[in-house]
């Protein structure tokens, strides 16, 4: 196994008296899809925000490749954030910008000025998410699923090595959620991207995950493969997974 793309060691985060992360140790391997599971308040989103340096840890370290990013300033984080894209839960599109302008935003922020290059890279990103030719549309005219796909195009337009997804299936019907899953796996398969996904949709977990990390009370309670999760007898895990609708243990799903 090669060195991890992201390495988290003894990560703590406190907000006043609230101790949210209590010593996270986690390796994320290059080219894998890692799913973060856990109940509300387990620390999933807080952990995710440390990986591109959006939060500075109270204690501990985060390395992206060989670089420790803990508490870097914004200028120092610029090259790191070109390696790590983010798809926020609500899409976080700018409503006053067209689809094309939204997708182009990270390129312009990174200093790309060649309009022909920007147009090509935006078109390529929209092709990946099956929205080719939709550059002129405004976010208000898009369905929830299309907004998520535009957000994904924006996250990958600069071809990062890793993409972070915060609840990409939230608010989507099963068919649209399946479309997002296929795109996540396509990015992994065709472009070698590392994916880190927070989701509660167990059907999606078993479709996309290479490994699953289950957080509880600010710690990694369990780490393993989808097969190992299906076979677990741990009551904590079974109660969490079986609480989802449908039959997540059906391997034909």
pLDDT by residue (tens digit) across 168-208?
888 888 888 888 899 899 999 999 999 999 998 888 999 99
Is 249's pLDDT higher than 50?
no
Q: What is the pLDDT of residue 86?
A: 87
Looking at residue 252, what is its pLDDT? 38
- Closest-CA residue to 157 (of 198, 195, 187): 187
* Residue 130: both structure tokens together: 């099956």
CA distances 85 to 28, 126, 177, 229, 245, Å, are: 15, 15, 20, 28, 31
Q: What is the pLDDT of residues 6-22, one digit of tens each?
A: 999 999 999 999 999 99
Structure tokens that stand for 246 in this block = 């449908």
Could you give the C-alpha distances from 50 to 21, 134, 139, 160, 211, in angstroms and in order?
11, 33, 28, 17, 20
Beta bridge partner(s), residue 212: 35, 224
Going by pLDDT thresholds of 50, 70 and 90, the confidence category of residue 92 is confident
Split at pLDDT 50, 70, 90, the class of 2 is low
Please determine, for residue 83, whether its predicted confidence score (pLDDT) is greater than 80.
Answer: yes
Give pairs for 224-229: CB < 8 Å, separation 24+. 229/205
Q: Which residues contact 239 (CB under 8 A, 6 or more apart)?
A: none
> What integer pLDDT is reported at residue 250 of this predicted model?
44
Cα separations in angstroms, 157 against 34, 96, 106, 126, 246: 21, 20, 8, 8, 35
**Single pTM value for the model:** 0.89
Query: In the numeric block, which tokens belong to residue 63?
Result: 């390395």
The confidence score (pLDDT) of residue 10 equals: 97
pLDDT at residue 91, as a whole number: 64
Residue 140: exposure state from Cβ atoms within 10 A (0-12, 13-18, ≥19):
exposed
Output the six-digit token pair for 62: 């985060």
pLDDT score at 90: 65
How many helices (H) does the chain have, and how many strands (E)?
A: 9, 10
With a cut of 50, say whether residue 246 has pLDDT above it. no
Percent of residues in the chain assigned helix, strand, coil, to nearest 5: 40, 25, 40
Quickly state the pLDDT bin for 55 (edges 50, 70, 90): very high
**Directed axis angle between helix 99-109 and helix 144-156, to 10°?**
20
Across the range 135-144, mean pLDDT stands at: 89
């Amino acid at each position: 196994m090669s060195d991890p793309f992201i390495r988290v060691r003894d990560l703590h985060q406190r907000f006043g008296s609230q101790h949210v992360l209590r010593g996270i140790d986690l390796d994320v391997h290059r080219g894998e899809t890692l799913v973060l599971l856990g109940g509300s308040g387990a620390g999933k989103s807080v952990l995710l925000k440390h990986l591109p340096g959006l939060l500075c840890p109270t204690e501990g370290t985060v390395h992206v490749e060989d670089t420790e990013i803990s508490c870097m300033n914004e200028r120092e984080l610029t090259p790191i954030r070109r390696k790590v894209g983010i798809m926020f839960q609500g899409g976080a599109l700018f409503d006053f910008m067209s689809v094309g302008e939204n997708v182009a935003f990270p390129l312009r922020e990174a200093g790309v000025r060649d309009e022909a290059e920007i147009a090509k890279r935006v078109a390529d990103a929209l092709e990946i998410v099956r929205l080719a030719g939709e550059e002129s549309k405004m976010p208000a005219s898009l369905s929830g699923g299309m907004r998520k796909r535009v957000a994904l195009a924006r996250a990958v337009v600069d071809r990062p090595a890793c993409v972070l997804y915060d609840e990409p299936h939230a608010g989507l019907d099963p068919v649209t959620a399946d479309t997002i899953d296929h795109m996540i796996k396509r990015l992994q398969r065709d472009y070698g991207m590392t994916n880190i996904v927070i989701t509660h949709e167990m059907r999606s977990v078993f479709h996309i995950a290479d490994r699953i990390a289950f957080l509880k009370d600010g710690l990694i309670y369990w780490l393993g493969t989808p097969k190992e999760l299906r076979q677990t007898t741990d009551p904590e895990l079974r109660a969490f997974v079986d609480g989802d609708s449908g039959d997540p243990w059906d391997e034909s799903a």
